[in-house]
Structure 1
Amino acid sequence: MIDQGRRGLQAKLALFGGLLLAAVTATPACAQPSAVPVSVAKAVQQDVPIWLRGLGTVQPNYGVQLRPRVDGTLTQVPIAEGQDVKKGDLLAVIDPRPYQAMLDTAMAKKQQDQAQLANAQADFARYASLVKQDFASHQQLDTQQAMVKQFTASILGDEAQIESAQLNLSFCYITAPFAGRIGLRNVDPGSVVHSGEMTPLISVMQVQPIALTFTLPQDTLPAITKAMGKHPLEVVAYASDDKTELDRGTLLTIDNMIDVSTGTIKVKATFPNASHSLWPGQFVRARLLIGTDAQVVTVPSVAVQHGPDGLYVYQIGPDKTVSVQPVTVTREEDDVSVISRGLAAGAVVVVAGQSRLQAGSKVAIREDASSPVKSGS
């Protein structure tokens, strides 16, 4: 039994040795490393816009909360919620009858005082004639002259009462102060309203054109003011995803003070808003175009790598061998990096597959992914 076990062990050792010898024999003396598949792009020379980005809120160009200025019953609201109105369109009516009666009373009082003034003037003329003939005293003449002045002043007071009554009567008819869009109605017809109420009857917002205020770092203020002195500056509004363009407008003005708590400056732009893509209170991302870098060398931002000694790219030589090329990046615009030093236009750089590369590595270019650099938007 012992001899049989020894013979079995010897057979296993012989088999293992044969397999090991076959593996060593099958290994080539000098294995050639395979080329690393990569995606590439060319460094191109092009114009790159200079955008300043900020967060902002859409505001109506004009916006009012219409409240009653006289007491009374709201009798009519002849417009629909969400309706577009023009300047001067009738929006609401408060019962005008009490104020029409006050106007009629003031006008009647003026007519009465005018009649008394005419009589006083006639008496004054008669007394003036009698005084010349010594048939009346100067005291009577002076008294009559005072009556003329009294009724003249009464008429002036009547005219003021008439103007006040006309003004109150006009307040019964609430009209649109400018062209805009009606909001939701807060008070229904039939309700009794009072002047000075906090709750508005209705709101009107001008949404065409519309305004946008957004903030930018205070360090950008010199560049903005310099660019504004040359030409109007374009502003583009994007949705919260920073990809969907909503509208294009023009920078209107810069605020007169920097926010000391945040170190930012507030700017305001105006937009035509022809498609109603901007709405009051909407949160948007804004981009302000202040200039263009002309004919600079650019590469896709994914090509730029961060190393212990700074930024670099993997540049591909004519023999499909990569080299580590240090570069200086001036700025990034969307997915494009502006290179000020280290690369020339036409250089081929790796944009995907860098994790398996080192200086001197051979590469295989994936033709379907190779494309030139696109301009920043």
Structure 2
Amino acid sequence: MLEGLGTVQALKVATIHSQVAGLLERVDFTEGQTVKRGDVLAQIDPRLYQARLAQAQAQLARDKAQVTNVQTNLGRNEPLLQRGYATEQQVTDQKAQVDQLQNTLKADQAAIDDAETEFEFATLRAPFDGVTGILQVDIGNVIRPADPGGIVTMTQVQPVSVVFTLPAADIPPVQAALARGPIAATVYDQGGTKKLDTGSLLLINNQANPTSGTVQLKANFPNAERQLWPGTFVNAEITTSVVKDALTIPTDAVQQNDKGQFVYVVGADGKVAIKAVEIGQRERGTALIAKGLDAGETVVVQGQYRLVAGTLVKASSPGDVPNTSTASAGMLP
């Protein structure tokens, strides 16, 4: 298991700006509210943009009437041209006029589309599911697209990601684990005691930090209970491999001297002996034994400061209150 300090990051963050200028007429959310994509957040006075749309629509209707009139005249003159009652120049001019007006209709439709877009921009909507922040502009103010702070900042909190760092030396086993399949990730609070959520590792960043010798990793979490909040510090943990039938002992049993790590092992006669051990990993109060102990041996987990090799000890039950003059021993799993 590899653990690194990380920061919760929202998958999406958006500052809601107006794309048109106008008077902020209405705000349709409360600060901190959960909103869905497409929900109305605010309304800018739409009358100016509604009038522009009506004007563009009227222009299109007028030009359509002109096209109809020219096409009607052309339809009358073409048969007359064949019988000599209309000139070729007259028919040619009418055909060119029809083509010109057809292009004018396309321009009119583009103007309508533009006016409709501006009219829609007067209604500000949520771009994704998320939580609104603090309102930056009060009703009655004139807002513009160039305003730096926008109206409100929206943040997606379900799901969220956690970006954390590991030493560069730990990356090869992570890459090997990713090649075998998805890697489970768990996130804890800053103290490392409270489990907040479980998710999966998403990626390893494509470069290391040459200054610190670390690499960033990113994991995603569903955050169903919203215990992860963007910007907070957490401890992230990933499992790269599993040791089957492993020997473990409480980390309190592991001692250190000038020769290395050791534990006090209790013999059948109740006397302790010192055994050197190699610890594969320590994790949340448990030490993985790589070498030095066998299953079924009893180790001392409390009171080692009073022990020397050959000391007689008495095992205590988990519920007993240990005496200051005795050591506590426990069986290996």
**For 2:264 and 2:330, how far apart are their aligned partners in 1?**
16
CA separation of 1:170/1:374 partners in 2, compared to 1, >3 Å: closer, same or farther?
farther
* Structural mapping, 1:302-317, within 5 Å: 302-317=252-267
Residue type of the alignment partner of 1:350: V
Are 1:349 and 2:299 matched, yes or no?
yes
Give the CA deviation at 1:167. 0.1
User: How many residue pairs get matched?
Assistant: 324
Q: Shift of the alpha carbon at 1:342?
A: 1.9
1:174 deviation in Å? 0.8
- CA shift for structure 1 position 231: 3.9
| Structure-to-structure mapping, 1:77-92, within 5 angstroms | 77-92=27-42
1:18-33 equivalences under 5 Å are none
Q: Distance in 2 between matches of 1:153 and 1:373?
A: 91
> Separation in 2 of the partners of 1:373 and 1:121?
101
Give, in whole Å, the separation in 2 of the partners of 1:298 and 1:101: 77
2:312 maps to: 363
User: 2-side partners of 1:91 and 1:371: how far apart?
Assistant: 64
Structure with larger RCO (C-alpha < 8 A, sep 6+): 1
Partner of residue 171, structure 1: 121
Residues 20, 121 of structure 2: 8 Å contact kept: yes
Contact map agreement 1:240 1:285 (CA 8 A) in 2: yes
Residues 274-324 of structure 1: CA distance to partner in whole angstroms, max 9, x if unpaired?
222111111111111223211122222232232333322222222233322
Residue 80 of structure 2, aligned match among 119, 122, 130: 130
User: Is the alpha carbon distance of 1:371 and 1:117 closer, same or farther for their aligned partners in structure 2, counting shifts above 3 Å?
Assistant: farther
State how far apart, in whole Å, the 2-side matches of 1:139 and 1:255 are: 72
- Of 94, 106, 124, the residue aligned with 2:56 is 106
1:298–1:336: 8 Å Cα contact kept in structure 2? yes
1:112 shift after superposition? 0.8
1:84 Cα deviation from its structure 2 partner: 1.3
Q: Superposition pairs for residues 179-190 of structure 1, below 5 Å? A: 179-190=129-140
Q: Give the 3-state SS of the residue equivalent to 1:293 in structure 2.
A: coil
Structure 1: which amino acid aligns with 2:71? Q
Gap runs ≥5 in structure 1: 1-50
Partner SS state of residue 279, structure 1: coil
- CA-based RMSD: 2.1
Of residues 275, 283, 286, the one that matches 2:225 is 275
Per the TM alignment, residue 213 of structure 1 is displaced from its structure 2 partner at its CA by 1.6
C-alpha deviations, 1:123-173, integer Å up to 9, x for none? 222332232223333222221111111111111000000000000000001
Contact conserved, 2:266 with 2:329, CA < 8 A, in 1?
no
CA distance in 2, matches of 1:242, 1:202: 33
The 1:333–1:374 alpha-carbon spacing in structure 2 relative to 1, beyond 3 Å, is: farther
- CA distance 1:354–1:109, shift in 2 (3 Å): same
Secondary structure in 1 aligned to 2:92?
Answer: helix
- 1:236 maps to a residue whose letter is T
**Range moving further from structure 2, 95-104 or 344-353:** 344-353
Residue 278 of structure 2 corresponds to 328
TM-score, reference length from structure 2:
0.90
- What residue number does 1:292 align with? 242
Q: Distance in 1 between matches of 2:166 and 2:132?
A: 32
Further displaced range: 138-147 or 72-81: 138-147
CA contact (8 A) 1:298 1:373 kept: no
Deviation at 1:371, TM superposition (A): 5.8
Q: Equivalences for 1:119-158 in 2 at 5 Å?
A: 119-158=69-108
Tell me, what secondary structure is at the counterpart of 1:323?
A: strand
Residue 211 of structure 2: which of 258, 261, 273 is its match? 261
Q: Structure 2: 5+ residue runs without aligned partners?
A: 323-327
2:175 corresponds to which of 225, 230, 235 = 225
2:157 to 207, 228, 232: 207
Residues 300, 373 of structure 1: 8 Å contact kept: no
Equivalent position SS for 2:313:
strand
What TM-score, normalized by structure 1, do the two folds share?
0.80
What amino acid sits opposite 1:274 in the alignment?
A: A
CA contact (8 A) 1:62 1:205 kept: yes
Q: Pick closer, same or farther for the CA change 1:184–1:322 going to 2, 3 Å.
A: same
